């Protein structure tokens, strides 16, 4: 029993209480790693589901339904009886009294794991957000899906009324993995899926522009793959603009630093993220992107009972490079902290620092094409795509979704059809 | 070429223009029946998808995703090149100039088919609608899904905070097929799917109350099946109240005519429908429920070029009984009108009146149980359920969805798990 656990204020059983805020990749792994711990684990999220965020762009482009890439957190922990799942939006931590609160309900902890993730950063232009949603939540993906699909519907209606149908244009800002995957998926949606279904306009003429401020796409990948990616996208008729900076953004399009104006029906923001305010909650030092400085064991200075994992922690590799904000890194941190807490509860010494193992980078460019960097291995084109599919299906939690996602992908691959092309009232009402 | 077609005002090609408003069962069948007609068919809907409404209750109870029971109308008519699909919300018909309009764009017709369906009727208490949504649109189903799931989440959070968790109650108003199916599905969700996933409350203790004003459930079915249905529901711990009238409804529950008050976290309205205002648009006579009086060929008096089909038409059988407002009836009317218009365009005489063929009634009560009335055949219990599953899978348009729906059902059946239990930001925002 640790010191902090014996200080529990009320008469609840003496089992230490572990509170985990955030049920993304980091939080879920931390809870799982506590499976055999003699502890009461409370996993709190403001949503009732765990989201497989790397596939959100497939929801935004109507290939998958939200239910295909999200699982009720309760189902995931159905059989792990030491986990209680709560749906609450935590807004404050009282580090002195050891409580987290949503403003109404307070939940006491002996150990606290903050895994609250990251959100979009508009680099000081937060007013751009309504015009250029990112891809972090299901609501973002549904909003983008609706804008993309509605643009074609409006063009067709205009054509029927003998007006000139404006060219349908989609802009993707940011040439990292998310931007590249989104650009490829939009190109397929417009040029293949929709192409035979309109009578007054030609969706195959839709324009897709991918804007990256840096000199190359996929800056985190080995340089050779950037050029492969650019060529693949251009073959799919995506306009790739590297070294191009967005200086203005509004409802109807963007303006670049060189003065060029590009009008668009939909703008996707994939350019940058900022950490959730966990560091501020617990009074930890943080970097410019809001990521908390944590110790070698991912704990907060002065609070050995508080840990921060995933996108909201600033962690460095042994070689001094920052650990990237990707799902495998969040999972490794979550697992490390879960095991560390379990060891402390069991009274075992645990002083190995967190070490990140980078297994590789992968990004799909579209049907039949992906780039993979795995140690010294490089895969591109169709072999890369097959590898990417297998890896993602493998990582999707849950048997059922693996089958449904596989069928949807196979179906899309064979027919170019997409199953989730719905524009609902509710989504339009939110516009 | 008909007389009306030759009176087209503009210089468009001389092919007659058939405009169909509404892409439900009636509208889609009408457009399909015009497949070989030498006509320009325009199919207009305010949504971009055709909805398989009979399964909406499965979306409301998280068994299926919206994408599983909805298909982009464009995909359905991808290969039928004489059909143009438009997404527009028609609000007016100019019968003199032969135009339909959404207020902005006007679309001329030579033949007009109105298949705009029905919506909920609160019998003069339209103010109840926000408290007791019905099951007509995907947005209704998502709202109900969110209320049902959020109720359990809130109870669990309250339990954690050591408050008394209020008993979770769901009320279903209306004991027709929709009400019966919804009651059974909510019972399964609460008593089986959720039962092992909460730590502070017991979802199996959730209360489900089905209220029917008339003397028996399923009034359209043979009487024996009503009693079977009641017993099956009661075995699933649904409280069935026949002969009970709702006299007040608010955010927190309903009051019955005898003064009893029932508090509830979610209220579902399945008690009555009223026709869409198509009759008013074209100046046709209509009954109290707003259904247009139509001739033996489903055309409007004085307008042989305007037809009304489906739930918005008042049609009588040869025996004088009204044709029921169910999917097979709408499909038969749509097909009849489509063929009639095709015959007129081809210059063939067509004077056979519309005759409705009733094939049967079926309603599922839950896992392993359904009631089926098919001519003289009656099926109940498990055989009924198997028949119901096969019939619904068969009628679902599209190969892919048949597989996905089958897998979801099989999965639910084997495990009591449900795949679409998401409470999204967007849905909560709409609350």
Query: Which pLDDT score is estimated for A166?
Result: 63
Give Cα B255 distance to the centre of its chain: 26
**pLDDT digit string, tens, across residues B29-66:** 999 999 999 999 999 999 999 998 988 998 999 888 88
Query: Which pLDDT score is estimated for B296?
Result: 94
Q: What is the dihedral of CA B124, B298, B37, B359, to 10 degrees?
A: 80
Residue A40: strand pairing partners: A17
**pLDDT digit string, tens, across residues A140-186:** 999 999 999 999 998 998 876 655 556 789 999 999 999 999 999 99
Question: Is residue A129 among the annotated active site residues?
Answer: no
Rounded CA separation A265/A251 (Å): 8
Mutate to test the interface with B, among A426, A428, A429, A431 (most CBs of B within 10 A): A426
What is the count of residue pairs from A and B with beta carbons less than 8 Å apart? 180
A420 touches chain B (CB under 8 A): yes
| Residue B69's pLDDT band (cuts 50, 70, 90) | confident
B105 touches chain A (CB under 8 A): yes
Min Cα–Cα distance to chain B from A142, Å:
9
| Residue B386's pLDDT band (cuts 50, 70, 90) | confident
Query: Which pLDDT score is estimated for A429?
Result: 34
| Residue B361's pLDDT band (cuts 50, 70, 90) | confident
Return the CA Rg of chain A.
23
Rounded CA separation A136/A380 (Å): 27
Top pLDDT among B228 and B404 is at B228
Rounded CA separation A30/A330 (Å): 10
Q: What is the mean pLDDT of residues A11-32?
A: 90
Q: Is the pLDDT of residue A248 over 70?
A: yes
Share of residues in chain B with pLDDT > 70 (%): 88
Residue A41: strand pairing partners: A18, A83
Query: Which pLDDT score is estimated for A386?
Result: 86
**pLDDT digit string, tens, across residues B191-226:** 888 888 899 888 888 999 999 999 999 998 989 999
| Residue B376's pLDDT band (cuts 50, 70, 90) | confident
Rounded CA separation A193/A206 (Å): 12
Nearest to B376 by CA among B220, B227, B222: B222
| Residue B400's pLDDT band (cuts 50, 70, 90) | low
Dihedral-angle region of residue A366 (phi above 0 means left; psi in -120 to 50 means alpha; beta otherwise): left
Query: What residues have CB less than 8 Å from A172, skipping those under 6 apart?
Result: A179, A182, A183, A186, A208, A209, A210, A211, A267, A268, A270
Partner residue opposite B407 with nearest CB, options A49, A403, A419:
A403
Inter-axis angle of helices B25-33 and B327-345, nearest 10: 30
| Residue A397's pLDDT band (cuts 50, 70, 90) | low
Contact by Cβ (8 Å): A173, A179: yes
Share of residues in chain A with pLDDT > 90 (%): 61
* Contacts A403 to B, Cβ<8 Å: 407
**pLDDT digit string, tens, across residues A323-364:** 999 999 999 999 999 999 999 999 998 889 999 998 888 898
* Contacts B150 to A, Cβ<8 Å: 87
> What value does the mean pLDDT of chain B take?
87
Return the CA Rg of chain B.
23
Expressed in angstroms, the distance from the first to the final Cα of chain B is 52
Q: For chain B, give the secondary structure using H, E and C.
A: CCHHHHCCCCCCCCCCEEEEECCCHHHHHHHHHCCCCCCEEEEEECCCEEECHHHHHHHHCCCCCHHHCEEEHHHHCCCCCCEEEEECCCCEEECCCCEEECCCCEEECCEEEECCCEEECCCCCHHHCCCCCCCCCHHHHHHHHHHHHHHHHHHHHHHHCCCCCCCCEEEEECCCHHHHHHHHHHHHHHHHHCCCCCCCCCHHHCEEEEEECCCCCCCCCCHHHHHHHHHHHHHCCEEEEECCCEEEEECCEEEECCCCEEECCEEEECCCEEECCHHHHCCCCECCCCCEECCCCCEECCEEEEEECHHHEECECCCCCECCCCHHHHHHHHHHHHHHHHHHHCCCCCCCCCCCCCCCEEEEEECCEEEEEECCEEECHHHHHHHHHHHHHHHCCCHHHHHHHHHHHHHHHHHCCCCCCCCCHHHHHCC
Please name the residue that has the structure tokens 């299906």.
Answer: A393
What are the structural domain ranges in chain B? 3-46+88-120+274-345, 126-271+367-429
**pLDDT digit string, tens, across residues A56-85:** 998 999 888 888 888 889 988 989 999 999
Query: Which pLDDT score is estimated for B351?
Result: 81
**pLDDT digit string, tens, across residues B141-195:** 999 999 999 999 989 988 766 555 567 899 999 999 999 999 999 999 998 888 8
Range of lowest pLDDT (A82-91, B300-309, B325-334, B403-412): B403-412
Give Cα A50 distance to the centre of its chain: 11
Query: Which pLDDT score is estimated for A165?
Result: 59
Query: Which pLDDT score is estimated for A426?
Result: 42
Nearest to B86 by CA among B35, B41, B32, B145: B41
Query: Which pLDDT score is estimated for B165?
Result: 59
Query: Which pLDDT score is estimated for A99?
Result: 97
| Residue A2's pLDDT band (cuts 50, 70, 90) | very low
> What value does the mean pLDDT of chain A take?
87
Rounded CA separation B253/B169 (Å): 9
ipTM here = 0.84
Nearest to A148 by CA among A224, A82, A63, A211: A63
Query: Which pLDDT score is estimated for B429?
Result: 35
| Residue A413's pLDDT band (cuts 50, 70, 90) | low
Overall fold of domain A3-46+88-120+274-345: FAD/NAD(P)-binding domain (3.50.50)
- Which one is catalytic: B156, B181, B188, B212? B181
Q: For chain A, give the secondary structure using H, E and C.
A: CCHHHHCCCCCCCCCCEEEEECCCHHHHHHHHHCCCCCCEEEEEECCCEEECHHHHHHHHCCCCCHHHCEEEHHHHCCCCCCEEEEECCCCEEECCCCEEECCCCEEECCEEEECCCEEECCCCCHHHCCCCCCCCCHHHHHHHHHHHHHHHHHHHHHHHCCCCCCCCEEEEECCCHHHHHHHHHHHHHHHHHCCCCCCCCCHHHCEEEEEECCCCCCCCCCHHHHHHHHHHHHHCCEEEEECCCEEEEECCEEEECCCCEEECCEEEECCCEEECCHHHHCCCCECCCCCEECCCCCEECCEEEEEECHHHEECECCCCCECCCCHHHHHHHHHHHHHHHHHHHCCCCCCCCCCCCCCCEEEEEECCEEEEEECCEEECHHHHHHHHHHHHHHHCCCHHHHHHHHHHHHHHHHHCCCCCCCCCHHHHHCC
A424 touches chain B (CB under 8 A): yes
Mutate to test the interface with A, among B58, B104, B142, B160 (most CBs of A within 10 A): B160
Q: What is the mean pLDDT of residues B366-376?
A: 84
A78 touches chain B (CB under 8 A): yes
Query: Which pLDDT score is estimated for A169?
Result: 93
Nearest to B193 by CA among B388, B419, B389, B408: B419
Query: Which pLDDT score is estimated for A430?
Result: 32
Query: How far from A278 is each of A285, A292, A337, CA to CA, in Å?
Result: 11, 7, 16
Query: Which pLDDT score is estimated for B397?
Result: 59
Q: Is the pLDDT of residue B401 over 80?
A: no
- Which one is catalytic: A146, A156, A181, A305? A181
Please name the residue that has the structure tokens 């059988």.
Answer: B317
Rounded CA separation B348/B257 (Å): 57
Range of lowest pLDDT (A120-134, B331-345, B368-382): B368-382
Residues 119-138, chain B, touching A (beta carbon < 8 A): 137-138
Residues 232-251, chain B, touching A (beta carbon < 8 A): none
Q: What is the mean pLDDT of residues B18-39?
A: 97
Rounded CA separation A6/A15 (Å): 9
Q: What is the dihedral of CA B265, B271, B275, B277, to 10 degrees?
A: -40
Please name the residue that has the structure tokens 């506590």.
Answer: A34
Residues 175-234, chain B, touching A (beta carbon < 8 A): 194, 196-200
Residue B377: strand pairing partners: B374
Mutate to test the interface with A, among B100, B419, B420 (most CBs of A within 10 A): B419
Contact by Cβ (8 Å): A149, A423: yes
Half-sphere exposure of B10 (CA within 13 A, CB side): 13
Q: What is the mean pLDDT of residues A245-252?
A: 94
| Residue B426's pLDDT band (cuts 50, 70, 90) | very low
- Angle formed at CA B20 by CA B16 and CA B22, multiple of 5 degrees: 170
Query: What residues have CB less than 8 Å from A170, skipping those under 6 apart?
Result: A148, A151, A186, A190, A206, A207, A208, A209, A264, A265, A266, A267, A268
Query: What residues have CB less than 8 Å from B386, skipping those under 6 apart?
Result: none
**pLDDT digit string, tens, across residues A69-127:** 888 899 889 899 999 999 999 999 999 999 999 999 999 999 999 999 999 899 889 99
Nearest to B342 by CA among B379, B388, B307, B394: B307
Q: Judge: B139–A42 Cβ closer than 8 Å, yes or no.
A: no
- CATH number for the region A126-271+367-429 comes to 3.50.50.100
B419 touches chain A (CB under 8 A): yes
Q: Is the pLDDT of residue B235 over 80?
A: yes
């Amino acid at each position: 029993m640790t010191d902090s656990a014996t200080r529990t204020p009320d008469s609840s059983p003496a089992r230490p209480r572990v509170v985990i805020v955030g049920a993304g990749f980091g939080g879920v792994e931390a809870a799982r790693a506590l499976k055999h711990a003699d502890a009461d684990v409370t996993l709190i999220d403001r949503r009732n589901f765990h989201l497989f965020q790397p596939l959100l762009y497939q929801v935004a482009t109507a290939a998958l339904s939200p239910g295909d890439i999200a699982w009720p957190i309760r189902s995931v922990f159905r059989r792990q009886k030491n986990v209680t799942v709560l749906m609450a939006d935590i807004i404050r931590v009282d580090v002195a009294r050891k409580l987290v609160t949503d403003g109404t309900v307070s939940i006491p902890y002996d150990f606290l794991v903050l895994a609250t993730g990251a959100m979009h950063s508009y680099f000081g232009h937060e007013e751009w957000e309504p015009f250029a949603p990112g891809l972090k939540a299901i609501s973002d993906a549904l909003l983008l899906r609706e804008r993309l699909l509605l643009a074609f519907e409006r063009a067709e209606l205009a054509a029927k009324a003998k007006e000139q149908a404006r060219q349908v244009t989609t802009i993707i800002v940011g040439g990292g993995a998310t931007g590249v995957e989104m650009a490829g998926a939009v190109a397929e949606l417009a040029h293949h899926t929709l192409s035979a279904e309109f009578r007054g306009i030609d969706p195959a003429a839709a324009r897709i522009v991918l804007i990256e401020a840096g000199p190359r796409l996929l800056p985190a990948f080995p340089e050779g793959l950037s050029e492969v990616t650019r060529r693949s996208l251009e073959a799919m008729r995506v306009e790739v603009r590297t070294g191009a900076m967005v200086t203005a953004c509004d409802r109807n399009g963007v303006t670049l630093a060189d003065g060029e104006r590009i009008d668009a029906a939909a703008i996707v923001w994939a350019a940058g993220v900022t950490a959730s305010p966990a560091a501020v909650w617990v009074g930890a030092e943080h970097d410019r992107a809001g990521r908390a400085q944590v110790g070698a064991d991912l704990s907060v200075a002065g609070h050995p009972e508080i840990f921060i994992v995933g996108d909201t922690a600033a962690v460095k590799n042994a070689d001094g490079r920052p650990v990237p904000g990707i799902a495998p890194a969040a999972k490794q941190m979550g697992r490390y902290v879960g095991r560390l807490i379990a060891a402390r509860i069991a009274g075992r010494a645990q002083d190995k620092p967190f070490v990140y193992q980078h297994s590789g980078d992968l990004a799909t460019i579209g049907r039949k094409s992906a780039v993979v960097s795995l140690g010294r291995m490089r895969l591109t084109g169709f072999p890369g795509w097959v590898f990417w599919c297998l890896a993602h299906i493998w990582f999707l939690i849950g048997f059922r979704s693996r089958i449904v996602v596989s069928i949807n992908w196979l179906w899309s691959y064979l027919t170019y059809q997409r199953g989730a092309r719905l524009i609902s009232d509710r989504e339009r009402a939110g516009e």
